[in-house]
Amino acid sequence: MTIRDVAERAGLSVATVSRALSGRGRVSETARTLSEQAARELGYVASFTAASLASGRSKNIGLVVPWVNRWFFSTIIETVSTVLAAEGYDLTLYYLGGGKRERDLVFSDFLLRKRVDGLLAVSLELDDAERADLLRVGTPIVCIGGVIPGVSTVSIDDFATALLATDHLVALGHRRIAHIGWEGAGDFALATTRQGGYAQALRGAGLEVAPELIALGDFTMQDGYAAAKRLLSDPRLRPTAISAASDELAIGAIAAARDLGLDVPRDVSVVGIDGHDLGEVFGLTTVDQHVREQATRAATLLLGQLDEDPAEREPVHSEVGVDLLVRSSTMAPRPSGPPNG
C-alpha cells in the first residue's frame, strides 16, 4: 500500500494527498477530507521514517522542565502537547529532576543529536554554553518564564504581578501583610522578584517590610501550610493578610488557617499568583498569569520558527498580561483585628 494508491482512491494528485496527510502545506478542506477518508479505507499509514528523511525533520519537539508534579509545569506540558499534536508533532519530555548532571546530559548530548526539531524550555535560565550549543546546530529555542538574550521567550512581569496581588490587600485596608515565598532566587530570580513586588507594594503604602512577616519554603502546598502555621500561630504577631508567591502556597495557607480555627477571610485574607485550577474550589483570590496562553503562545512561536533560516532567525520576546481575580478569600480587615504596624 502506497500513497499513490491513496491518491487514486481519493481522485487527487500524489502531491496533494501528501500535503493533506502530513499536515504540511496548504490544501482545501475537501481535499484533506477526501485524503483522510481514502487513507482510512485502505488502511494506509504514512511512513514516519520516509517523511523524516524527505523533510530532514523528526517531527518531534523537546520540552525541558525542572519539575513535572507541580500545577504550573503539568499545565504547560498538557497545553504544549495538545498544540503540537494538532500540527502533527510528537513531544519528548526532558525532566531535570536529577539536578546538574542530568541537565548537563540533556543539553550537551541528547538535544545536540538532532533528536528534536525545536526546543521549549520552561523556567530554565539557559547559560551561555547551553544557548551557544543549541544555536550552533540550528535548533530553534523558545523559553517560558523570563527573558534570555538571543533567544525567543514568553513571560509575564513577575514584579508587577506580585505588586498587583499585594496592592489588592493594601487597597482593602490591610496594614499587617505577610509574604509566603520560596527560598533562594531560582532561575530568572523569580523568588526574589516576586518578593520584591510584595515589598514595593508595602513601601508604596508607607508600610514597613517586617522580616518576621516573611516566611520562605518550597513551591508546594505543604510548604505553604507550614509557613502559614508559623505566621498565624501567635495571635499577638498574627498578620491580617497573606500575599503568597504562588497559588499552591496560598492554598496551603488557607488550609493552615482553617486548622488553627481561623476564618478566611474574616480573620486573615489570602491572595495568590497563578490561576490554579483549584483556586475556584478554595475561593482563592489570585492574579491569573494565564499559563495555558503562555504555553500556546510559546509552542506556536516555536512552530513558526521551524521554517526560518537559522542565520536569519530573530528572537521574539512576548509578554503575557495578567488579571486579578477577586474571590472570597480576601476582604477588609475587621476593626477588632490585630493592631496596625
pLDDT digit string, tens, across residues 232-281 = 999 989 999 999 999 999 999 999 999 999 999 999 999 999 999 999 99
Q: Whole-model pTM above 0.85?
A: no
Cα–Cα distances in Å, from 195 out to 198, 204, 268, 318?
A: 5, 14, 20, 23
CB-based contact 115:92 (threshold 8 Å): yes
Extract the runs of DSSP E, i.e. beta strands, from 236-299. Answer: 241-244, 269-274, 285-288
For the domain covering 3-54, report its CATH number.
Answer: 1.10.260.40
Pick from 251, 285, 254, 289: nearest CA to 268: 254
DSSP label at 188?
G
pLDDT tops 70 at residue 57: no
Q: 5-14 pLDDT, tens per residue?
A: 889 999 999 8
CB-based contact 330:270 (threshold 8 Å): yes
Q: Where are the domains of the chain?
A: 3-54, 58-156+291-320, 158-289
The pLDDT confidence band at residue 24, using thresholds 50, 70 and 90, is low
Q: Can you say how many angstroms the Cα of residue 195 is from the centroid of all Cα atoms in its chain?
A: 19
Cα(63)–Cα(202) distance, integer angstroms: 38
Percent of residues, the chain, with pLDDT higher than 70: 92
Sheet of 152-155: strand order equals: 90-95, 60-65, 118-122, 141-144, 152-155, 317-319
Q: Residues for the chain: how many in total?
A: 341
pLDDT (average), residues 198-221: 95
> If DSSP codes are grouped into helix, strand and coil, which group holds residue 154?
strand
The pLDDT confidence band at residue 120, using thresholds 50, 70 and 90, is very high
- Can you list the pairs that 8-15 forms with residues at least 24 positions away whose Cβ atoms lie under 8 Å? 9/38, 9/41, 9/42, 10/34, 10/35, 10/37, 10/38
- Low-confidence winner among 32-36, 71-75, 129-133 (lowest mean pLDDT): 129-133
pLDDT (average), residues 17-37: 82
- 158-289 matches 3-54 in CATH topology: no
Class of domain 158-289: alpha beta
- The per-residue pLDDT of the chain, averaged, comes to 89
Kindly indicate whether the domain formed by 58-156+291-320 is annotated with CATH number 3.40.50.2300: yes
- Higher per-residue pLDDT: 137 or 169: 169
The pLDDT confidence band at residue 336, using thresholds 50, 70 and 90, is low
pLDDT at res. 154: 98
The H or E element containing residue 63 is strand 60-65
pLDDT tops 80 at residue 56: no
pLDDT tops 50 at residue 338: no
pLDDT at res. 52: 45
The pLDDT confidence band at residue 172, using thresholds 50, 70 and 90, is very high
CB-based contact 254:282 (threshold 8 Å): yes
pLDDT at res. 73: 96
